[in-house]
A and B are shown apart, each in its own frame.
Chain A
Amino acid sequence: MNDLDKIIICNRCQTPHIKKNITNDEIAICNICGNVLYKKYNNLLLKLFSFSLSAFIFFFIANLFPVIGIDIAGYNGELRIIETIFFLFNNGYVFLSFFTLMTIVIFPLMLISATFMFSLLRIFKIKSKFSKELLVLITILREFVYIDIFFVAILVSLVKIFEYGYILLGVGFVSLAILFVLMIYMYRYINISAYWELLDV
């Protein structure tokens, strides 16, 4: 273990502190500004494994099945994420479709896969350089995954159109809602430095 690993710097006030061992679900707090320095998550590795596996399943359901359906004066419309991307592309909105494809489909898929593979490697204690590469990928990609915003955008759209017709929530909507919660937990609630701590375990 490097000497620098024993020091932790407060994210807010940049004050260095000596790292101390804490028990599960305990939080270390900066004595200068009160900011959370680090937290020991209970069974983090197993949580990451199970949540990323669940996210993987729900991701495919959300992408393959209709998210919402609408019936306006005889017109039946369905929202499927992949079809929407193709629709935008075919109608000349290439950049918009490409952006949606990357941030709603490709990046989340890469992020979930990377988390799953990383947790699998760590659970079986396989020492590999690949683990670090996966963590770098997770660290960068989590900034560019916008499933949470997309889900809220669907809710806003529902409010905008609910008085024009009959709305049906599909299987994809439920899956997307669960995926939204899982993504928030894995990549917003859990600090990324906790992932990096697992590399040294």
Chain B
Amino acid sequence: MYKRCHHCGATNLNNVKKCRRCGLSLEGNNNLALAFAISGLIFYIPANLFPILQTNKFFKSTTNTIIDGIFVLWQKGDYPIAIIVFLASVLIPVLKFIIIFYLIYSVKKRNCRFLRLKEKLYKFIELTGHWSLLDVFVVVVLSGLIHSQSISVIPREGALYFLIMVIFTVFSVISLDITELGEYCGRYSRSKN
């Protein structure tokens, strides 16, 4: 009967496509979300295989992938930072892909099981998704800070792939519409007040 605009929170009639208050679209596009998620997944592979960072110290040059960086932090004893980088760069992107594909599958198949859990999962990826950019910004900060002829830190191709992957997944989450599932499962019609 009614639809909530996820942009401004206004209540709209169910048969309209644009919000009466903000004018933005009330419906997501799950096919677009799937396309973005697949594109993101494609870029996630080179993002992990190629080095994200290169450190030049006098005549010695070392490169680090995301996983290498976490191991180095862990071996140095910086456990909290290693955990934060692991969460932001490895665990959250992987979880995000799994959750996006699971939610799209559920909407397509109209699967009403674990609806509450799915809503929580959607909230989770909506809130944490862009935090994967942490590693990209660390590279930006380090390269901006240390860039002399003898010592320098420069971004490598892995950082670019990782950035593109995060952008695709952010757009995927924005395009995803979980309320469609709520409608199928008849929760909209449940008006108690």
Contact = CB atoms under 8 A, between A and B. Distances in A.
- How big is chain B's contact interface, by range? 35 or more
Given A68-B145, A160-B138, A11 B4 contact: yes
B21 A196 contact: yes
Interface string A46-76: 0000000000000000000000101011010
Given A14-B188, A136-B22, A136-B24, A79 B141 contact: yes
B23 A88 contact: no
A31 B130 contact: no
Nearest to B140: A100
Nearest to B119: A12
A135 interface: yes
Given A88-B155, A143-B174, A149 B142 contact: no
Given A7-B2, A9-B4, A156-B84, A72 B151 contact: yes
Contacts of B23: 136
Contact of A18 (B131, B174, B193): B193
Contacts of B81: 156, 159-160
Contacts of A159: 78, 81
B146 A161 contact: yes
B63 interface: no
B9 A192 contact: yes
B131 A4 contact: no
A88 B144 contact: yes
Contact of A72 (B85, B134, B146, B160): B146
A61 to B, nearest CB: 17
Interface of B: 1-4, 7-13, 20-24, 73, 78, 81, 84-85, 119, 130-131, 133-138, 140-148, 150-151, 154-155, 159-160, 163-164, 167, 170, 174, 179, 182, 187-188, 190-193
**Would you list the 4 A-B pairs with minimal beta carbon distance, nearest first?**
A84-B144, A193-B9, A153-B137, A9-B4
